[in-house]
Amino acid sequence: VAEDYTYFSWGETGDIIVEEGVLGDVTLDGVVNVTDIVMMVGYIMGQEGVDLSSEQILAGDVHEDGVINVTDIVHVISIILGG
């Protein structure tokens, strides 16, 4: 089961922007699926054209250790499979 997270950023006028998302949802489409895994693998492998925003990195860092790595991918697979 995917968990929610809260993301804080600064707006152009200095306002604080608060957004919520789902851990594992790297594509930010509201669904955790294989597309998120593909994007995470591309990011880890340094694939050209796979540049993640800070919000996407936050969503992909499922273990909340500051990096996206294979442990996060395994956890996302578990989320997809219903674990």
Section 60-70 average pLDDT: 93
Residue 77 has pLDDT above 90, yes or no: yes
Residue 61 has pLDDT above 70, yes or no: yes
**pLDDT at residue 21, rounded to an integer:** 85
Q: Considering just the CA atoms, what is the radius of gyration of the chain in Å?
A: 13
Residue 2 has pLDDT above 90, yes or no: no
Other CB atoms closer than 10 Å to residue 45's CB: what's the count? Answer: 9
**For residue 28, what pLDDT band results from cuts at 50, 70 and 90?**
very high
